[in-house]
């Protein structure tokens, strides 16, 4: 357990000296933290697999030399033989298991390239599908059978802005939000009743961005939440982005004092009367005893773990000193609580084991692990602190067995706080936030700005459409394959007109255009709409202001649907539409321009992966409307090929993805795991990811199955970084 050095807080004004003291406090509060921070400097670089020690026993059969190398020699050496191999990759330097164990990260990439038919290239000699599958399994076996160090689990990860807001809400039992946070998308939540297992046929959804006078107001005068840095191909809870600078610590101190001193805080906090309100008839001794009892109850909830006597005494002393100086019970309690809210034990998620476990009993370590599991589970599903039931289960050691974890998942997925999973994980996964800033060229798409006096732009409706669709898959425990291909959606009148839906056929009547906040569950009348790929939000976010972008759209599909983002374009890549382009070039449609662009060998390889996926969506224009022709008058060509299978148009493209769904299922599991753990995946995770994906397939691809299997996985249940991957995965999951 960590302990605090006492610190004195003036109340409630901010003194910059306090920030300096608080910065030092971070270092004092965690024994050995300095060393851990040093380790974090290299945490972003995945640890390389260690070489087999001299004299260590090799596998009975040299898996690599006899089973993998012959395939690589036959199909890969043409491009990857020698130091000048394609992409700087020389596969000929690996001859044995020990050789391959030196760079398992590379072999993980080789595995994916073989499985995705990216290697060998299309113009080279191709292996049979059975041979691909066989060598893929052997490379996977190579990774699983080799000892290697495990990835960093994020010893130092503070609460991000959403987690902080939700934790403050639940810690003080607030009746409404108190921070301005645009990630909420909608302010109304009455429609969201996950315990029923059904979403309503119609939803009243007040946009956070529109009609502000009708939305829930935030607490006036409360400081703004700090903005978290963006994360590339990850989520806002990624450990690499969540550090704590002195300036950010100052922001959190301002937040803490502005919340507890807000004039409306007493009205919305369920703790005010019991914790902060002064009893004028009580003696000083009675008030002190009452405060000590309240802090003793409050502190473990705030720290999300058991607290030591030394931890507790810091805040008892702080209250006593302030009470003696001011004579005000309420102000003294505010000071103590403000100090708690800037403690590292509050600001950081407690999902780690002691750096030095010597001297700590097994029962104490089990308790630490139990509370860590409670936090990991609650921040995954609710984006907030554990509730009383989770705390009690942690205290009683009932979070170590799969049956206990599954029981908690079943309970928590029905709680209204699970909305955080859709608002945060779901919308970040789909990259919906980019839609809000879309501004199509008014001269080309004037219809986008029609009715601007009465309605917001369609982008806001499209964001809500995506949110309600994701929530339906989650609440109704539908197949995740419906994210690709579905026959229903939630539309308001604005979107029904935009997508040219037969309103009377869908609803039986025509709602007024002004009813922007009324969304209805409708059936799609064709196969090209439905699912997230062809949703308006996706199409709008992946276009430029003047035209569609098959490159942006293809990259979105690779990243979101297949978790295989393409590398960033080189800095010197020529623009698709150069300023000095010829008249002939300017009159080409976007597909023909990309065909010319791919003639450059430096561009060809990446565009061969990206463009066909984007071409599938060319029947939708830059604002998400259906079209039959390009702006040039040419007929739309929405044909392409994915994993060797040809398609024409979005409906058939989605058919291919659903028919060969193993790639999407694995990718969705990977996205979910990244969010659940708050870190990027590591090559050593590959065997367990595939086991989880296989379990999801066996359970009919249900959303709840993804959540359950992620929670029951070795990756989610592991906290000790001292274990090696093959030791952990051989015996730690009794569900297999």
Query: Which pair of structure tokens corresponds to residue 39?
Result: 């380790």
pLDDT of residue 699: 97
Q: Coil, helix or strand for 626? A: strand
241 or 665, which is more confident? 665
How far apart are alpha carbons 323 and 11 in whole angstroms?
11
Give the model confidence (pLDDT) of 127-150 as tens digits: 888 888 898 888 888 888 876 655
Going by pLDDT thresholds of 50, 70 and 90, the confidence category of residue 562 is very high
SS (H, E, C) 301-328: HHHCCCCCHHHHHHHHHHHHHHHHHHCC
Where does the pLDDT of residue 210 fall: very low under 50, low under 70, confident under 90, or very high at 90 and above? low
What pLDDT sits at residue 706?
98
pLDDT in tens, 667-689: 999 999 999 999 999 888 999 99
More confident residue, 4 or 456: 456
Contacts of 293 (CB under 8 A, 6+ apart): none
Alpha carbon distances (Å) from 278 to 271, 324, 329, 338: 13, 15, 6, 17
The span from the first CA to the last CA of the chain, in angstroms, equals 34
Contact between 540 and 603 (Cβ < 8 Å) = no
Q: Quote the pLDDT of residue 577.
A: 60
Residues 6+ apart with CB under 8 A from 12: 257, 260, 261, 331, 334, 335, 338
Q: Given the structure tokens 């000929």, which residue do they identify?
A: 92
Residue 115 has pLDDT above 50, yes or no: yes
Q: What angle do CA 393, 397, 403 make, to 5 degrees?
A: 75
* Planar angle of CA 511, 516, 520, nearest 5 degrees: 60
Dihedral (CA of 293, 299, 300, 301) sign: positive
pLDDT of residue 217: 54
pTM, two decimals, is 0.87
How large is the average pLDDT for residues 599-609? 70
Q: Which of the residue ranges 139-143, 147-151, 566-570, 618-622 has the most confident prediction, judged by mean pLDDT?
A: 618-622
Phi (first) and psi of residue 348, to 5 degrees: -105, 145
Strand-strand pairing, 488-491 and 645-648? unpaired
Name the most confidently modeled range: 394-398, 507-511, 605-609, 730-734.
394-398
Q: CA 536 to CA 435: how far, in whole Å? A: 9
pLDDT above 90: residue 185: no
- How do residues 226-240 score in pLDDT, each as one tens digit? 888 888 888 999 988
Query: CA-to-CA distance for 526 and 538, rounded, in angstroms?
Result: 18
d(CA 424, CA 164): 13
For residue 96, give both structure tokens: 């044995």
User: Looking at per-residue confidence, does 247 or 392 come out higher?
Assistant: 392
Residue 603's pLDDT band (cuts 50, 70, 90): low
Residue in the structure block whose two tokens are 């393409």: 566
pLDDT at residue 213 above 50?
A: no
Distance, in Å, from the CA atom of 669 to the CA atom of 681, rounded to the nearest integer, reads 11
Contact between 650 and 619 under an 8 Å Cβ cutoff? The reply is yes
Cβ atoms of 152 and 282 within 8 Å: the answer is: no
Q: Where are the alpha helices (DSSP H) in 414-502?
A: 419-420, 427-429, 458-475, 493-498
In whole angstroms, how far apart are CA 273 and each of 323, 329, 655? 18, 12, 58
Residues above pLDDT 70, as percent of the chain: 82
C-alpha span between 100 and 103 (Å, rounded): 6
Note whether 150 and 723 are within 8 A (CB).
Answer: yes
pLDDT score of 15: 45
- Name which of 40-54, 154-168, 584-598 the model is least confident about: 40-54
Q: Is residue 31 very low, low, confident or very high in pLDDT (cuts 50, 70, 90)?
A: very low
pLDDT of residue 602: 59
SS3 605: helix
Res 39 pLDDT > 50 = no
């Amino acid at each position: 357990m960590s302990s605090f050095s006492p610190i004195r807080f003036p109340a409630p004004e901010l003194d910059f000296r306090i920030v300096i003291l608080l910065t030092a406090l971070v270092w004092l509060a965690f024994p050995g933290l300095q060393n851990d921070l040093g380790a974090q400097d290299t945490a972003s670089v995945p640890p390389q697999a260690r070489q087999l020690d001299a004299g260590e026993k090799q596998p009975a059969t040299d898996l690599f030399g006899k089973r993998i190398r012959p395939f690589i020699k036959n199909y890969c050496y043409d491009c990857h033989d020698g130091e000048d191999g394609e992409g700087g990759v020389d596969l000929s330097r690996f001859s044995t298991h020990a050789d391959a164990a030196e760079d398992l990260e590379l072999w993980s990439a080789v595995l994916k390239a073989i499985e995705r038919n990216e290697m060998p290239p299309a113009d080279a000699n191709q292996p049979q599908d059975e041979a691909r599958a066989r060598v893929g399994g052997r490379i996977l076996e190579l990774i699983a059978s080799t000892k290697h160090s495990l990835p960093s689990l994020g010893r130092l990860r503070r609460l991000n802005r959403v987690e902080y807001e939700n934790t403050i809400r639940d810690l003080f039992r607030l009746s409404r939000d108190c921070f301005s946070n645009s990630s909420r998308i909608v302010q109304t939540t009455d429609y969201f009743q996950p315990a029923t297992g059904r979403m309503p046929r119609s939803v009243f959804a007040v946009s956070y961005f529109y009609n502000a006078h009708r939305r829930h107001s935030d607490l006036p005068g409360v400081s703004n939440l700090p903005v978290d840095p963006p994360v590339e191909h990850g989520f806002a809870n990624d450990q690499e982005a969540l550090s704590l600078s002195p300036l950010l610590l100052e922001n959190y101190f301002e937040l803490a004092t502005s919340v507890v001193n807000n004039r409306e805080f007493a009205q919305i906090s369920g703790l005010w009367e019991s914790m902060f309100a002064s009893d004028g008839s009580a003696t000083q001794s009675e008030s002190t005893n009452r405060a000590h009892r309240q802090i003793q109850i409050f502190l473990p909830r705030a720290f999300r773990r058991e607290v030591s006597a030394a931890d507790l005494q810091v805040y008892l002393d702080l209250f006593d000193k302030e009470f003696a100086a001011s004579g005000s019970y309420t102000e003294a309690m505010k000071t103590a609580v403000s100090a708690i809210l800037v403690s590292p034990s509050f600001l950081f998620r407690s999902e780690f084991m002691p750096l030095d476990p010597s001297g700590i009993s097994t029962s104490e370590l089990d308790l630490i692990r139990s509370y860590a599991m409670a936090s990991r589970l609650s921040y995954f599903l609710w984006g907030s602190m554990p509730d009383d039931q989770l705390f009690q289960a942690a205290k009683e050691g009932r979070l170590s067995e799969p049956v206990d974890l599954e029981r908690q998942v079943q309970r928590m997925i029905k709680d209204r706080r699970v909305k955080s999973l859709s608002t945060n994980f779901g919308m970040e996964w789909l990259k919906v936030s980019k839609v809000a800033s879309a501004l199509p060229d008014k001269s080309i798409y004037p219809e986008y700005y029609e009715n601007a006096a009465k309605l917001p732009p369609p982008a806001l409706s499209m964001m809500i459409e995506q949110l309600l669709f994701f929530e339906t898959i989650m609440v109704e425990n539908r197949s995740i394959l419906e994210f690709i291909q579905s026959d229903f959606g939630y539309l308001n009148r604005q979107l029904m007109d935009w997508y040219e839906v037969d309103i009377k056929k869908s609803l039986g009547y025509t709602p007024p255009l002004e009813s922007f906040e009324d969304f209805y569950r409708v059936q799609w009348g064709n196969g090209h709409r439905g699912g997230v790929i062809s949703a308006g939000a996706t199409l709008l976010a992946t276009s430029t202001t003047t035209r569609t972008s098959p490159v942006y759209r293809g990259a979105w599909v690779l990243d979101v649907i297949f978790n295989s983002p393409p590398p960033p374009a080189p800095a010197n890549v020529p623009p698709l539409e150069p300023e000095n382009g010829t008249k002939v070039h300017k009159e080409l449609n976007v597909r023909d321009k990309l065909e010319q662009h791919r003639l450059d060998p430096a561009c060809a390889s990446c565009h061969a992966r990206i463009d066909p996926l984007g071409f599938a969506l060319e029947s939708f224009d830059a604002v998400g409307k259906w079209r039959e022709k390009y702006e040039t008058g040419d007929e739309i060509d929405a044909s392409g090929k994915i994993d060797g299978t040809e398609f024409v148009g979005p409906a058939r493209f989605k058919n291919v993805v659903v028919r060969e769904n193993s790639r999407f299922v694995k990718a969705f599991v990977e996205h979910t795991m990244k969010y659940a753990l708050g870190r990027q995946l590591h090559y050593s995770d590959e065997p367990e990811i595939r086991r989880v994906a296989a379990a999801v397939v066996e359970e009919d691809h249900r959303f709840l199955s993804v959540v359950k299997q992620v929670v029951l996985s070795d990756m989610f249940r592991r906290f000790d970084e001292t274990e090696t991957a093959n030791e952990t995965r051989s015996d730690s999951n009794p569900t297999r």
